[in-house]
Amino acid sequence: MLFRNIWQKRNGITGAFLLPITGIFAQIGTAPNAIISLNWFNVFLFFLKIGSVLYGSGYVLLAFLQRDLVERNQWLTSQQLLDAIAIGQFTPGPVFTTATFIGYLLAGNAGAIAATIGIFLPAFVLVALINPWVSKLRQSSWVSAALDGVNAASLGLMAAVTYTLGRSALIDLVTVILAGVSAIAIFKFNINSAWLVIPGGIIGLIFYHL
């Protein structure tokens, strides 16, 4: 936001100049948290935090989950997260329903309810607070520049988590072929990803457990 409205206007430098700086900030805060006792309230607070800062596509959620649940707190394994993503893709509704399944894994039925409320509650509150100023915010060059930066960060998060989860999911020729066929089906033929979950599960069952 500052770069777009001050430095770039004065010097005409492109945003690519900021790439080395983003690499420095990406190294901050990598120490894992201490393992804490899990209950529905901790699950609620965790998803309330995510729901308060999540922006862009619902798939950005996966980056937060990989970072905090798998790497930082070690509440889930990468395989459990992949299972949760598959459930979120298959069930009706937004990708955020993945949070319900994860809440159940972490703290049972109470965890599922807490996770669902926690991740959706901030959106209702923020929309109610910001709605009266939407027209003015859209006209602000400062807010527009800030949102452009957040959009770029969202894409970066999705790319990073795709790479990380891909290393866990693409383990042999069968999984690579499935991923390739699925990508063609989604991007070329616009097939809903939910229709790919069951065939993928059946093929995996045939190849690995029968």
What is the C-alpha separation between 208 and 191, in angstroms, rounded?
Answer: 26
Q: For the residues 8-30, what does the mean pLDDT come to?
A: 51
Q: Is the pLDDT of residue 48 over 80?
A: yes
pLDDT band, very low/low/confident/very high, at 125 (cuts 50, 70, 90)? very high
The Cβ of residue 65 has, within 10 Å, a number of other Cβ atoms equal to 24
For Cα atoms 157, 79, 207, give the angle at the middle one, nearest 5 degrees. 120
The structure tokens listed for 132 are 């009266």
Residue predicted with more confidence, 40 or 153: 40
Q: What is the mean pLDDT of the chain?
A: 81
Whole-number CA gyration radius for the chain: 20
Please identify which residue in the block is written with the tokens 């001050």: 6
Q: For the residues 89-112, what does the mean pLDDT come to?
A: 87
At 172-195, the pLDDT tens digits run 999 999 999 999 999 999 888 878
What per-residue confidence (pLDDT) applies to 31? 43
DSSP state of 6: I
Q: Is the pLDDT of residue 28 over 50?
A: no
Pick from 45, 47, 44, 51: nearest CA to 126: 51
What per-residue confidence (pLDDT) applies to 207? 86
Q: Does an H or E element contain 80, and which? A: helix 78-90
The Cβ of residue 47 has, within 10 Å, a number of other Cβ atoms equal to 30
Q: For the residues 198-210, what does the mean pLDDT come to?
A: 85
Report phi then psi at 83, rounded to 5: -60, -40
pLDDT band, very low/low/confident/very high, at 32 (cuts 50, 70, 90)? very low
The alpha carbon torsion through 34, 35, 39, 44 (nearest 10 deg) reads 50
